Amino acid sequence: MSGSKLIQVLLPLRLEWEPFYSYSEDSMPSPLLEGDRVRVEFAGKEYVGTVTVPDASADAAGIGLERIKPIAGLAEGLDRISHEEISLWRQVAEYYLCTPGEVYKAAYPAGKVEEEGVKSRIRERLQQRIAKLDEKIAKSRREETRARYVAEREELMRQVAGPSTPLRDQKEEILRSAQNDRTGTSAGSGRDGIELSPAQEEAYSKIKEVLKAGKPALLRGVTGSGKTEIYLKLAAETLAGGKNVLYMVPEIALSRQLEERIRNHFPNELQVFHSGMTVAKRAESAAFIKTSPYIALGTRSSLFLPHRNIGLIIVDEENDPSYKQDNPAPRYNGRETAIMLAGIHGADIILGSATPSLESLYNCQVGRFGLIDLTARYFHASDSDVEIIDTIAERKKNGMIGSFSRKLIDRIRECLAKGGQVAILRERRSYSPMLQCEGCGHIPKCSRCDVALSLHLREDGQGRLVCHYCGKVYEYTGRCPECGGELKPLGAGTQKIEEEAASLFPEARIARLDSDSARSGKHESEIIKGFEAGEIDILVGTRIVAKGFDFSGLSLVAVLRSDSLLAQQDYRADERALHLLEQFRGRCGRRAEKGLFVVQTSQPDHPVYKSLTGVQDATMVTDRLLKERKLFGYPPYSRVINTILRDRNIQRIELMGRSLSTLLAGTLGRGAKVIGPYSPAVDKTAGENIRIIRVMLPKDKNLRSSKAALQETAERFARERKYSGHISLDVDPV
């Protein structure tokens, strides 16, 4: 067997090793290289794997060569994966305690590969039919029959040739059009005249200093200070220098305005990526960035595009929890992963936010990042005024009408009378987030998830009960299923508030923006456009309304039942609430006129509001929060890793949870804290019970080995106890 070569292949699976395969050099046009895609069989199934070691040695395999399977073939039509991509997968896997195969699977989701796979299977079948026809043609005596077979064969040949090369065609097409585009306009020049204000200019040169020192730059700038302008200037320079740009945002649906701004500067280079894209569109964009200068705008998953030659990564709204992927693995944070990617490419990286995460501020304190402040707004608007309204006190004075205080109603009337626009934030969607029986006190809950059901009203006024965790829908009769008593709504969601607003402000044009109303992306962008164009006076919504919009007519923003933001059982609740409130406040008064921010709460003395009203400034608040974290040993002073158990059997999960917790405490040694197993706020979803063991590891020189020990212990436990529930690890959970 001369010319038989041994390779190692990474499979898109939760597999801790990379299996060995062989191929005969004679059967290949050229030897396989790192990143080549091959079809291989593993445990009875065929996968498209990536060659990680193209010349493995038999010694390393450690098993008899006769037991090593040959590959099934090359995965035709799939591009080679770069060394940089594989390096990123390995780093992500190591940090987030998963396997490189799981990252590979996320980077190249099955849809894309499957489509190719189906095509090749179809082709195989066609070829078999053609072979059969060839036999028949050879045997047939009658001219007519023969002619029919020949015609059939030609048709099959067309089918084989036809759909088998669409990707390649598309790529050439794109290449051609990109080249046409570029003749005339010079790539990467951007719009002339990004003229920075003096304050922006100063921030810009500080950023350059930090980047030159090889550190990530953290730009803290109030909304409207011109962070985006600075990013665009840096992007233009990067493209002019022949390198590419990755511009990350937490959610793409909310960045339509940003997209237009970037397109104005870089019409030929912009490529937008999001998870809702069709496979074909995604392939097309991916092909573009493989061949042309680009600025890629996308969410966290855009980190796993086939990037090359990146010179700059921008992480906008870096504190946003949407950067974290909860499920499935890899449970990565886009911000941290962006830093890894920048490292691999030797690229500059800038993180920006009006309210940076405590993690990033901590990284500045210890000198790992450089902090740059930008305090002046470009249009010199001052911060909007803040008015905190105590709903308990108001209720006693008969000052509440439903969810609205009379004070707020007056403010809204004044604002509308002056032709201004209003945005109202309420964290809970639905008509009513919870119902209770007046007779027996029963609260209807989801049978699968054990959470209270929300009442949603359809346009015809018919109600239905919905579980917000699993989406299951239940019939609503208005009667208690236990005693037949009347079900009463507890609290108001966005739908109810929209209804209340309609009766309080009958002349106003009112719209709602939440994940119910925004189910179709089209509808959502229509509402946003309508608000921009001044066709809507009052916009009611969930936190979507607090995010990234730039509405010049918005002069009053109000939060109803702000308490629900603070009530979460989480050490980050205050930080989160503050970020959301600051972000929402930044939405109004973006032009010259001063805006007003109204908060209705039953806890007016909460420290979070002190910071909003300016009793404490941002640095004081950060310092206080960091001190608290240090005192309790929370991140960023430790690393939290959640060990999550999921199991249909409640007795078994309790038992297994306790013994795994004991085992971890014994293995991880002093300094590590092992808490639980405890039940999270929602401890059952879709029929599976959930328990969490929280591990806090000190950030010392043993961190890496402790993390590895934790992973190893959990795996060994599952194996040895033959645990049929599911155990997963979540590093830096949000």
Residue numbers of the site for ligand ADP (CB under 6 A)?
195-197, 200, 221, 223-229, 378-379, 550
Question: Binding-site residue total for Zn ion (CB under 5 A)?
Answer: 7
In the DSSP assignment, the letter for residue 637 is: S
Contacts 24+ apart (CB under 8 A), 645-648: 645/677, 645/690, 645/691, 645/692, 645/693, 645/725, 645/726, 645/727, 646/688, 646/689, 646/690, 646/725, 646/726, 646/728, 647/688, 647/689, 647/691, 647/724, 647/725, 647/726, 648/687, 648/688, 648/689, 648/725
Stretch that binds Zn ion, among 470-478, 501-509, 521-529, 601-609 (CB under 5 A): 470-478
> Do β-strands 404-405 and 295-298 pair in parallel, antiparallel, or remain unpaired?
unpaired
Mutual angle of helices 279-291 and 166-182, in 10-degree steps:
50
Contact present, 404 and 560 (Cβ < 8 Å): yes
The correct pick among 92, 289, 467, 518 for binding Zn ion (CB under 5 A) is 467
Q: How far is the CB of 222 from ligand ADP (least distance, A)?
A: 7
Which of ligand ADP, Zn ion, none lies near 672, with the C-beta cut-off 5 to 8 A by kind?
none
Judged by beta carbon, residue 78 or residue 312, the one nearer ligand ADP is 312
In degrees rounded to 5, what are phi and psi of residue 211?
Answer: -65, -40
Buried b / exposed e along 244-266 (16+ C-beta atoms within 10 A): bbbbbbbbbbbbbebeebbeebb
Judged by beta carbon, residue 72 or residue 470, the one nearer Zn ion is 470
| Summary count for the chain: helices (H), strands (E) | 22, 30
Alpha helices in 418-520 (DSSP H): 494-504
Q: How far is the CB of 451 from Zn ion (least distance, A)?
A: 6
Which of Zn ion, ligand ADP, none lies near 470, with the C-beta cut-off 5 to 8 A by kind?
Zn ion
Token pair listed for 37: 């895609």
Q: How far is the CB of 322 from ligand ADP (least distance, A)?
A: 18
Is residue 472 close enough to count as binding Zn ion by CB under 5 A?
yes
Q: How far is the CB of 552 from ligand ADP (least distance, A)?
A: 8
DSSP string, 430-458: SSBSEEEETTT----B-TTT--BPEEEE-
Q: How far is the CB of 200 from ligand ADP (least distance, A)?
A: 6
Q: How far is the CB of 196 from ligand ADP (least distance, A)?
A: 5
Judged by beta carbon, residue 372 or residue 466, the one nearer ligand ADP is 372
Q: Beta strands of 156-306 (E only): which ranges?
A: 217-221, 244-248, 270-273, 295-298
d(CA 498, CA 209): 49
Q: How far is the CB of 15 from ligand ADP (least distance, A)?
A: 43
Judged by beta carbon, residue 12 or residue 352, the one nearer ligand ADP is 352
The correct pick among 164, 379, 407, 469 for binding Zn ion (CB under 5 A) is 469
Judged by beta carbon, residue 379 or residue 469, the one nearer Zn ion is 469
Which of ligand ADP, Zn ion, none lies near 449, with the C-beta cut-off 5 to 8 A by kind?
Zn ion
Which of Zn ion, ligand ADP, none lies near 448, with the C-beta cut-off 5 to 8 A by kind?
Zn ion
Judged by beta carbon, residue 178 or residue 270, the one nearer ligand ADP is 270
Q: How far is the CB of 427 from Zn ion (least distance, A)?
A: 19
Which of ligand ADP, Zn ion, none lies near 195, with the C-beta cut-off 5 to 8 A by kind?
ligand ADP
Judged by beta carbon, residue 181 or residue 516, the one nearer Zn ion is 516
Which of Zn ion, ligand ADP, none lies near 378, with the C-beta cut-off 5 to 8 A by kind?
ligand ADP
Of 221, 295, 290, give the one whose Cα is nearest residue 258.
295
Judged by beta carbon, residue 383 or residue 683, the one nearer ligand ADP is 383
In the DSSP assignment, the letter for residue 382 is: P
Contact present, 471 and 477 (Cβ < 8 Å): no
Residue 19, classed as helix, strand or coil, is coil
Token pair listed for 720: 């040895």
Indicate the length of the chain as a whole number: 734
Q: How far is the CB of 335 from ligand ADP (least distance, A)?
A: 17
Q: How far is the CB of 377 from ligand ADP (least distance, A)?
A: 7
Judged by beta carbon, residue 469 or residue 571, the one nearer Zn ion is 469
d(CA 555, CA 422): 6
Judged by beta carbon, residue 250 or residue 725, the one nearer ligand ADP is 250
Which x/- pattern, by CB under 5 A, does the window 419-458 give for Zn ion?
---------------------------x-xx---------
Q: For the chain, state the CA radius of gyration.
A: 29
Where is 414: in which H helix or E strand? helix 406-417
Judged by beta carbon, residue 443 or residue 470, the one nearer Zn ion is 470
In degrees rounded to 5, what are phi and psi of residue 586?
Answer: -65, -15
Which of Zn ion, ligand ADP, none lies near 472, with the C-beta cut-off 5 to 8 A by kind?
Zn ion
Judged by beta carbon, residue 255 or residue 436, the one nearer ligand ADP is 255
Stretch that binds Zn ion, among 335-343, 465-473, 481-489, 692-700 (CB under 5 A): 465-473
> Do β-strands 510-513 and 348-353 pair in parallel, antiparallel, or remain unpaired?
unpaired
Judged by beta carbon, residue 130 or residue 686, the one nearer Zn ion is 686
Q: How far is the CB of 581 from ligand ADP (least distance, A)?
A: 16
Q: Beta strands of 509-657 (E only): which ranges?
A: 510-513, 538-541, 554-559, 596-601, 638-647
Q: How far is the CB of 626 from ligand ADP (least distance, A)?
A: 24
Q: How far is the CB of 233 from ligand ADP (least distance, A)?
A: 9
Contact present, 508 and 516 (Cβ < 8 Å): no
Of 358, 378, 349, give the one whose Cα is nearest residue 223.
378
Which of Zn ion, ligand ADP, none lies near 225, with the C-beta cut-off 5 to 8 A by kind?
ligand ADP
Judged by beta carbon, residue 42 or residue 474, the one nearer Zn ion is 474
Judged by beta carbon, residue 224 or residue 370, the one nearer ligand ADP is 224
The correct pick among 401, 470, 703, 709 for binding Zn ion (CB under 5 A) is 470
Is residue 379 close enough to count as binding Zn ion by CB under 5 A?
no
d(CA 43, CA 53): 21
Which of ligand ADP, Zn ion, none lies near 459, with the C-beta cut-off 5 to 8 A by kind?
none
Which of Zn ion, ligand ADP, none lies near 446, with the C-beta cut-off 5 to 8 A by kind?
Zn ion
What residues are paired with 51 via a beta bridge? Answer: 9
Q: How far is the CB of 347 from ligand ADP (least distance, A)?
A: 21
Where is 421: in which H helix or E strand? strand 421-425
| Single-letter code of the amino acid located at 11 | L
Q: How far is the CB of 357 from ligand ADP (least distance, A)?
A: 17
Is residue 239 close enough to count as binding Zn ion by CB under 5 A?
no
| Interface contacts to Zn ion, rule CB under 5 A | 446, 448-449, 467, 469-470, 472
